[in-house]
Amino acid sequence: MRSTVPVLAALLTAGLLMPASASADPAGTPINANECNDAFCTPGITPGVELGAPCGNTTYYVFGVDTRNNWGRLIFCGSPRRYEPRYFRSPPMVGIKNLDGDCTGYENSVAQAPDGMFLSCVATGGRTRWVQGDA
């Protein structure tokens, strides 16, 4: 019994020092530490904007945070039909993704391209890809 204690301790220590291999990425690919997969690491999100307030740009850096009442709700600048742009509740935001890249597993989600372009995950033509969000 005494010889198993050091062996178990060594195994537990080795297990704690190993990097985690599990991935929460719905696409099934490992998450790279340099990638941004949520709103918390996305640059250019405007703080202190209000849901329903007018906004100016529906193509680039469209995301904002409504901080009234300590909500911290993520919103985006959009223009429904022929109306003036305003802030709406955001669908799930999954960080930085590439235009025309595969978005399988992120259907009905939004993202931001590296250049700040608003992206939406759309299934079309037999594939699921990131397209310009305000198109």
DSSP per-residue string spanning 26-68: TTSSPPPTTS--SGGG-TTPEET--TT-B-S-SSBS-EEEE-G
- The verdict on residue 22 lying in a domain is no
Whether 62 contacts 118, CB under 8 Å: yes
- Per-residue pLDDT at 119: 97
- The verdict on residue 20 lying in a domain is no
- Per-residue pLDDT at 34: 55
pLDDT, mean of residues 96-115: 95
Q: Can you tell me whether residue 131 is helix, strand or coil?
A: strand
Q: What's the rounded Cα separation, in Å, for the pair 25 and 19?
A: 16
Q: What's the rounded Cα separation, in Å, for the pair 49 and 87?
A: 8
pLDDT digits (tens, 9 = 90+) for 9-27: 333 333 333 333 333 334 4
- Domain with 44, as residue range(s), is 35-132
Q: Can you tell me whether residue 69 is helix, strand or coil?
A: helix
Q: What's the rounded Cα separation, in Å, for the pair 49 and 56?
A: 12
Q: Can you tell me whether residue 65 is helix, strand or coil?
A: strand
Q: What's the rounded Cα separation, in Å, for the pair 30 and 51?
A: 35
**Number of structural domains in the chain:** 1
- The verdict on residue 25 lying in a domain is no
Residue 102 carries which DSSP code? B
Read off the pTM: 0.72
pLDDT, mean of residues 33-52: 88
Q: How confident is the model at residue 92 (pLDDT cuts 50, 70, 90)?
A: very high
- The verdict on residue 5 lying in a domain is no
- Per-residue pLDDT at 16: 32
- The verdict on residue 2 lying in a domain is no
- The C-alpha angle 120, 44, 57, rounded to 5 degrees, equals 60
Across all residues in the chain, what is the average pLDDT?
79
- Per-residue pLDDT at 69: 78
- The verdict on residue 12 lying in a domain is no
pLDDT, mean of residues 73-92: 93
Q: Which residue type does 134 have? A: D
Q: Which residue type does 95 have? A: G
- The verdict on residue 121 lying in a domain is yes
- The verdict on residue 23 lying in a domain is no
